[in-house]
Structure 1
Amino acid sequence: MLLAAMMLVQDAASLEAAGRYADAERARRSSYEQAQRRGAGTVATADAAEKLADNLAMQLRLADAEPFYRRAFEIRLAKRGEKHGDTARSLRQLASLAMARGALGEAEALARRSLDIQRGLVPAVGMELAWALNTLAEVLAAQGKAFDADPLFGEAIVIARVQGDADLAILLNNRGNNFYRMATATVIPPMFRRRAGATRSVVAPSDQDANGGLNPLRKRAFLAQGRDLLDEAMRMFTAASGADHPDVANLLNGLAANYRAAGMPVEAEARYRQAVAIKARFLPPDNRDRIVGEWSLGDLLATRPGREAEARTRLRAAMAGAMASQARFRTFDAAASNELRSYAPVFATSIRVAWRLSRLTSVRAEPIEAPAP
């Protein structure tokens, strides 16, 4: 029985490493159910609940993940107490879920509580502290406090480099995107594609004229620093997982947004296209990462003369995915409303492109008067 359980866990981990998150869910559920049967209130059950929740979070099924994260937290608080690393990790995961719901005050309180516990542990647990720093940084960035978040992202990266941790690439990605935030005064929502509490941010289109009051030289410097970090993360992800992986696609999306903000639309378009091609192979049309990919490419094409028709096709795909994604919610609650609002720019850009196309069509259809004799 123990050997079978270990094989299930190994199979699930291998599938998740390959980006096959939905395929791994069955093994994660089976492990959780076995742990429940052996003892519902045990630490082993908490660990299995967390792994199942991580898997669901990787699939962006956050409403499904939350009960399992809460179950893990309740067991750990009862068994381990407040000042334990496992309890701190659960708090961090709950902070990430609150952030995804848009409850940023709650998320910050949970993230600070988690970080305080991690800083107080002796000896300090390296990567757990790095993830606590990252989570609080993501919460602050989601509140529009990118400059306050940056030192926390930087500290997390220093720890990961010392530890030689494989997930350094996620932290590089997050700080790279934060430089984009600082350069463009953009709020980038967190995305999950990794376990909650190890959140990875994904850049969506924004007002490219915004610069947060920065002078052009400083803006270019921030974007260049961000590209360096994203390029390093890309090399790490590609070496570990291959070039055809959803995480690589999201890094390409961040690089593309950076190039676009730097005034390099050709470089941006090439990376957006690479990202969309990867996502189309791995992800269903209603997956948020894929919606963001279609939207990002469509939004860029909408600014390029003569590309309106493809822009409309891309934006229509993003709109259809956005509407289909609402089926993940059991009711139209605050979380569903928050997600739908986040897609408002997709619909606005699509309407703008459709209007421009209709104007072009009407101009072409106007009869040409013969010159007067």
Structure 2
Amino acid sequence: MACQRSSTPGFRPYGILLLCLLFPFGASGESAPDASPSPAPPTVSDDPPPQTSLMATFDDFLATWRNRVAAGNGSKAARSHYEAAMRAPAFEGFARCVEAAKREGDEWGEAVCLVGGPDTLLRHRAIVTPEEIGRARQWLEAGGAIGQRLLGHQRGPYDASRIVLSQLFSLEGKYAEARRAAEEALAIRRAHFPPEDPAMAAVFAALGAVRYAQGAYDEAQVLLEHALAIRKSAFGAEDPQTADILNDLGNVSLAQGDPSGAQKYYARALAIRRKRLAPEHPAIAESLENLGLALFRQGNHAEARGHYEAALAIRQTRFGDAHPSIAATLNHLGALAMEAGDHTAARSAFERALSIAEGGLPPGSPVIDSLLSNLALLDYRQGDYAASRARFERLLRLREIRLGNDHPEVADILNNLGVLAKVVGDYDRARPLYERALAIREERLGPRHPRVADTLNNLGLLL
């Protein structure tokens, strides 16, 4: 389903930000930009437990560590800190677990905290800033190496660390590195598990999320649907990680031009999260925001605003007014203001969001990309074509470096630059921009995608 057409010829916000990945904007009349998880020290044995070769997953490793602690061969203090941090996830809590394990010579506990900590923090959307991402990456590399040495193979902590590393790279917009990490985990698990084993669901889902970010939407859908089927079969339809996969499938549907289908996935994810998670959990805010985006794409701006404001309230309560996660919601609210013609409110929202995002997110963050894109659209709407062109040309260079020359989001910027060239009467510059955008969209999205139709329409208007 196409987005509601804008009253401004040539441009409309097409997508702001879902999860941590963005979508750009499209157009009306002509298509333009897409708007874009203390007792005494025990005597610790250095001998590994029997059958480490059979220890296949991180959960097996965690269960073995708990048994070692119960038998007096591990750090009770580390276990206590770990369990406390799992209840109230924070770096400081997991750091206390790592320190206690190191102090008492419990390498099993150290590996659990180094790998399990970042995984849990990501699930609670508590890794955001470049410093947090860097710290988590160091923990994962160290924890994976310890686990591999203790077990003599790469299953358990090591392959689990690759999956979480993939997610961290995606937060930075480093999708090639994210894909390599996910594919390494997939290769390890494929060698030891059948395709339908529950251990495969997480790696299929991780790779599906990366391929979505890289614009391979059909491949992402296949991977995510396979992950969903495995997860539901093993853990039921109301498992929180099932909701994560449903959310990612909604992202894919939105990218494929189906906001109605995306809305259904997001609604199912939200229903599970509301049933299984605390009301103020950041994942609920994520679902509300994504539902709002699907509604926005269908022209239901009033209902979209209600979802955005509910998401913003959760994030402000949980994190405060200046947390980087606030930037994404302000971005959405700015797009609503822009569509309503309130350009002053829109610019205020975008600029406040950009200040927060640039102060707390990695330079390659999709949130920053989306905000720059929406500011360029706003410049266009206000008739400042030179400023709009300069922003879009900067974005084109950034996206080509980050995503490659044939990514659909590169096509979005090419299309937008074509619109700008046409509006100032430079048809000779507009045509090759549209033609390159069309070639990418037809190849990567298929000939029936709404953005292909938009670009064809734009070319037709040059005749």
1:57-94: CA deviations, max 9, x gaps? 11011111112211222222223323332222222222
What amino acid is aligned across from residue 179 of structure 1 in structure 2? A
Question: Which residue matches 2:413?
Answer: 293
1:181-209: CA deviations, max 9, x gaps? 3x2xxxxxxxxxxxxxxxxxxxxxxxxxx
1:23 aligns with 2:177: yes
What amino acid is aligned across from residue 248 of structure 1 in structure 2? I
CA apart distance, 1:251: 2.1
Question: Which residue matches 2:380?
Answer: 260
Rate the CA distance shift 1:244–1:100 in 2: closer, same or farther, 3 A.
closer
Query: 2:443, 2:194 → 1: CA distance?
Result: 34
Identical-pair percentage = 19
More helix by proportion, 1 or 2?
Answer: 1
Rate the CA distance shift 1:116–1:24 in 2: closer, same or farther, 3 A.
closer
11-20 vs 284-293, which moves further: 11-20
Query: 2:273, 2:165 → 1: CA distance?
Result: 31
Question: Which residue matches 2:446?
Answer: 336
TM-score by length of 2: 0.59
CA apart distance, 1:245: 6.0
Query: 1:244, 1:97 → 2: CA distance?
Result: 21
CA apart distance, 1:10: 5.7
Rate the CA distance shift 1:242–1:33 in 2: closer, same or farther, 3 A.
closer
1:142-193: CA deviations, max 9, x gaps? 2221222111012112222333364443333233223333x2xxxxxxxxxx
SS at match of 1:302: helix
1:114 aligns with 2:269: yes
1:326 aligns with 2:442: yes
Which of 297, 300, 303 is matched with 2:423 structurally?
A: 303
Which of 71, 89, 96 is matched with 2:226 structurally?
A: 71
Query: 2:265, 2:309 → 1: CA distance?
Result: 21
Question: Which residue matches 1:282?
Answer: 402
In 2, are the aligned partners of 1:69 and 1:94 still within 8 Å (CA)?
A: yes
What amino acid is aligned across from residue 327 of structure 2 in structure 1? A
Question: Which residue matches 1:152?
Answer: 307
SS at match of 1:338: coil
SS at match of 2:162: helix
CA apart distance, 1:296: 1.2
Question: Which residue matches 2:455?
Answer: 346
In 2, are the aligned partners of 1:84 and 1:117 still within 8 Å (CA)?
A: yes
* Residues 157-176 of structure 1: pairs in structure 2 closer than 5 A: 157-164=312-319, 166-176=324-334
In 2, are the aligned partners of 1:246 and 1:282 still within 8 Å (CA)?
A: no
Structure 2 segments unaligned to the other structure (5+ residues):
1-153
Q: Which has the higher contact order (CA 8 A, sep 6+)?
A: 2
Question: Which residue matches 2:432?
Answer: 316
316-325 vs 249-258, which moves further: 316-325
Query: 1:244, 1:108 → 2: CA distance?
Result: 27
Root mean square deviation, CA, Å? 2.9
Rate the CA distance shift 1:246–1:319 in 2: closer, same or farther, 3 A.
farther
In 2, are the aligned partners of 1:137 and 1:150 still within 8 Å (CA)?
A: yes
Question: Which residue matches 1:189?
Answer: none
1:260-296: CA deviations, max 9, x gaps? 2234334323322322232233333321211111221
Which of 159, 182, 185 is matched with 1:5 structurally?
A: 159
Structure 1 segments unaligned to the other structure (5+ residues):
184-218, 329-334, 356-373
1:100-129: CA deviations, max 9, x gaps? 334444333332222222223353361111
Question: Which residue matches 1:369?
Answer: none
CA apart distance, 1:133: 0.8
How many residues are treated as equivalent by the alignment?
305
1:40-62: CA deviations, max 9, x gaps? 44544222221111111110111
* Residues 44-59 of structure 1: pairs in structure 2 closer than 5 A: 44-59=199-214
Query: 2:164, 2:245 → 1: CA distance?
Result: 22
What amino acid is aligned across from residue 320 of structure 1 in structure 2? R
Task: Name the larger-Rg structure.
Answer: 2
